[in-house]
Structure 1
Amino acid sequence: MDQTTIGEYIFKQLMMQEQLPGKDDFVLKTMSKISAKSPRMTVKIEKTDGQREHYHQTDGPEILFVFSGKMVFKTVNKKFPLTGGNFIFFDQETEYTLLPLHWGDVLVRIKMDSSFELKDFLENVYNTRSSVTNLINKIISAYGRDHYVIFNAPKVDNSSYVIDRVLIEYVEPNLLYCDKVSHLLAILVLSLLENDCYVDAGNVNLQSKYQISDFTNYIEKNFQNISLSSMARFFGYNPSYLSTELKQTTGFSYKELVENERMKQAIELLKNPAYTINDIVNFVGYTSKSFFYKKFKAHYEMSPAKMREKLAQK
C-alpha cells in the first residue's frame, strides 16, 4: 500500500459507512499497545452528511488531520477554516464542534492515550537556535492556554506524507509497526516545526469569512515585506486556501493585490523629486530595478521617468 492506495482505501471505507446509521464517525483501526514507548491509538474517520454539526469532547490527546477537502471547526467563541493538509493537536477533555462536512471532505481523527503528550514532546526537543526555542515555547504556552494548537501545513507538505505513512501502518501493520508509528509521530511534529506551520489562534481573529478591507488593509501595511505564507499565518489560513479566498472576495490574485499596492505607492513617491528611482524600488519591496521597470510599464504603459514627468505637469 502507498500514498495513493491509502486514500482509495479510506474513501472506500467512508462510502460503505455512509450507508449505515449510527454515530458521526467510525473506527478505521485500533492499535494495541505493545511496548511502553508505543502509545495505543484509535483512528476514526468522520462521516459526511452535509447537514449536521458534529460535537466532540476528547478523552485523551487527539490529532485531527484534514485528509482532503475543507472543513470548519469551532470552539466556544471562534471558527477556524481548514483545508487539506492542516492539523490540530488537541489536549484531553477539550470540547470542539465540526460544522457539516460534505462529500470529498475527509477528516481523520487519531485518538491517543495519555502517553502521547505534545507538551512533553516539545519540551524534549533540543535545538540551539533561539528562533526554534522561541517557537516551541510559544506553542507550549498556546497549548496550555487553548488546549489545542493549529498547524496550517499544505497537503503537499512532508507532514502529509508522514501521516499517510502512519495510516498505512494502521491498515497494513508490519512486524515493528508500533515502534515505526511512534517515530513517525515524532517526525510529524518536527516537520511541522521545521516548516513553520504553526498558527497562534490566540492572536488571530479568525472568522469563517473576511471582509475585503481585512485583506487590503493587511497588504497596505505590509506590502514592503510580504509573502503569501506570512499572510496566511496571520489570518489562520492555509496558503492555498487564502489564495482562493482572496480571488473570491477581491477579484484579484494575491500577486495582483500586492503588485497593485506597490504600484500605487510608487506613484506617490514619484510625486516627490527627492526620491530617486532606486529609492522607490527599494521602498516598495522590489530587489531588482529591471523587474520593477517591467512591472511598472505593464501597469501604467510608460516608464517611471515618463510618469514622473507627467505627474510634474499637473
Structure 2
Amino acid sequence: MTTFSLNNYIIDLLRNNRAQSNEVKIEPKDDHFNLYSLYAERQHSQEVVYRTDTPTLIMCLNGYATIAVKDLSVKLETGNIILLRTGVSYELQIQDRSTLIVKFKMRPRYSWQAELSSLHLAHDQEKDLVNLFLTQLNQNGYFCFKNTSVMWPSQILKQLIDEYVHGSLFMWVMARNYFNLAIFASLRMQKFVMPTSRQSKEFKDRLLDEYISAHYNDISLEQTAKYFGFNKNYFSSMIKEKTGKSFVDHVDERRMQEALRLLAQPDVSLYDIITRVGYSSKSFFYKKFNRYYGMTPAAMRKKLFKEAKMNLK
C-alpha cells in the first residue's frame, strides 16, 4: 500500500466511523495478533487529555499536531514519532483537517526497556546509546524522534500499518522485528550528546547540542557562552577541546540536519529553507550545503524524492 493509499484508507475509516470517541480503532486482519493495537485520531480543535495504559508510539502520518507532556509542548510534523511510557498523561491537539495521527498501543506486558535490553548489542557505544535513550524516556515519560516521511523508520512503520490491516504469514514475528528496527534506525539518526568525565558540571547540566537545537536559526557564540556562564573566548576553546569541533561546526551541523529534513517536504521552498535554518545568504548556504553533503540542495531534494518513491513501491 502506497502512502497515498494508506492515508486514504485511514481518512475513509475516520469518515465512516460514527463513534463519538476521538480515537478510532483500526481492526487487524488477523484476530490473533496482539503485539499492539492501532488507533487513528480524529481532527479536533480542542486539546484532548489521555493517559497511556500501555507503552505507546504515536506517529504523524501527515500534517502536524501538538502534544503536551509534563508542561512541555512537542510539535509533531509528518514522519515524526513520539514514544510514551505507561502511565503518562498527555494532551493532543489536532487543528488541521489534513493531519493524520496513528497510535501503536503495545500489549499490556510490553516494556521498551525489557525489549531493547534483551537484544544483543555488539559495541559499548550502542549499549550507551540505548541506555541514554531509555533513561531519558523513563525520566521524561516520552521521547520524540524527528524523522521525516521519507526516512527509513517512517517507511518501516507505514509497512507495519499495512501488514496490520492486510495480514500475512509470520506477521507477529516480522512485526516485532520491524518495530525494533524502526526504533534502532531512529536511534542511529538521533543526535545525542554523550557526557564525559572531562566536562565541567555547568557544561554537563546544560548540553550544548540541546541549546543549539533550540536556537540554531538565530544564534551567536557570545549569547551561547553567556547562557552557559562562560567567557566567550574560553567557551570557544573549551568546545573545541572537548568535542573536537568548533562552535560554528556544531551550529552548521544542526542547520544542515534541519535543511535535509525540510528538503524532504515538497511544500517548503528552497528560499524558506535558507531563512528557516538561519542563513541570510543563498550563496553561503549553497557553499555550506555542498561542502557538507557533496551536492547542491536541489540535487539532494531530487535524490530524496527518488528514494521515497522507490521505498513506497
Contact 1:86 1:154 in 2 (8 A): yes
Residue in structure 2 matched with residue 48 of structure 1 by the alignment: 43
SS state of the match for residue 239, structure 1? Answer: helix
The higher radius of gyration belongs to 1
Gaps of 5+ in 2: 195-205, 225-246, 293-313
Report how far residue 112 of structure 1 moved.
0.9
- For 1:1-314, list aligned pairs within 5 A: 1-17=1-17, 20=18, 22-30=20-28, 34=32, 39-49=34-44, 51-196=45-190, 204=210, 215-217=217-219, 222-225=247-250, 226-228=252-254, 232=258, 239-240=261-262, 252-254=275-277, 256-257=279-280
| Change over 3 Å in CA distance of 1:246–1:54 after alignment to 2 | farther
C-alpha RMSD over aligned residues:
4.2
Q: TM-score, normalised by structure 1?
A: 0.66
Contact 2:58 2:81 in 1 (8 A): yes
Residue in structure 1 matched with residue 309 of structure 2 by the alignment: none
Q: TM-score, normalised by structure 2?
A: 0.66
Contact 1:79 1:206 in 2 (8 A): no
Contact 1:192 1:198 in 2 (8 A): no
SS state of the match for residue 42, structure 1? Answer: strand
SS state of the match for residue 99, structure 1? Answer: strand
Show CA shifts across 1:6-47 (max 9, x none): 222112212323xx351111111257784xxx7432111110
Code of the aligned partner of 2:279: E
**Separation in 2 of the partners of 1:171 and 1:108?**
13
Report how far residue 130 of structure 1 moved.
3.9
| Change over 3 Å in CA distance of 1:119–1:138 after alignment to 2 | same
| Change over 3 Å in CA distance of 1:215–1:206 after alignment to 2 | closer
Report how far residue 231 of structure 1 moved.
6.4
| Change over 3 Å in CA distance of 1:286–1:242 after alignment to 2 | closer
SS state of the match for residue 191, structure 1? Answer: helix
Contact 1:62 1:90 in 2 (8 A): yes
**Separation in 2 of the partners of 1:41 and 1:57?**
17
Contact 1:70 1:81 in 2 (8 A): yes
Residue in structure 1 matched with residue 240 of structure 2 by the alignment: none
Contact 2:29 2:166 in 1 (8 A): no
Contact 1:152 1:197 in 2 (8 A): no
Contact 1:32 1:41 in 2 (8 A): no
**Separation in 2 of the partners of 1:287 and 1:27?**
47
**Separation in 2 of the partners of 1:245 and 1:285?**
16
| Change over 3 Å in CA distance of 1:176–1:242 after alignment to 2 | closer
Code of the aligned partner of 2:38: V
SS state of the match for residue 60, structure 2? Answer: strand
Code of the aligned partner of 2:49: Y
Contact 2:163 2:171 in 1 (8 A): yes
* Number of equivalent positions: 254
Show CA shifts across 1:129-169 (max 9, x none): 44333221110111121122111111101111111111111
Report how far residue 260 of structure 1 moved.
9.0
- Taking only the aligned residue pairs, the percentage that are identical comes to 14
Code of the aligned partner of 1:256: Y
Contact 2:216 2:255 in 1 (8 A): no
**Separation in 1 of the partners of 2:67 and 2:271?**
23
Show CA shifts across 1:160-192 (max 9, x none): 111111111111112322222122112211211
Code of the aligned partner of 1:240: L
Code of the aligned partner of 2:218: T
Report how far residue 101 of structure 1 moved.
3.0
SS state of the match for residue 252, structure 1? Answer: helix
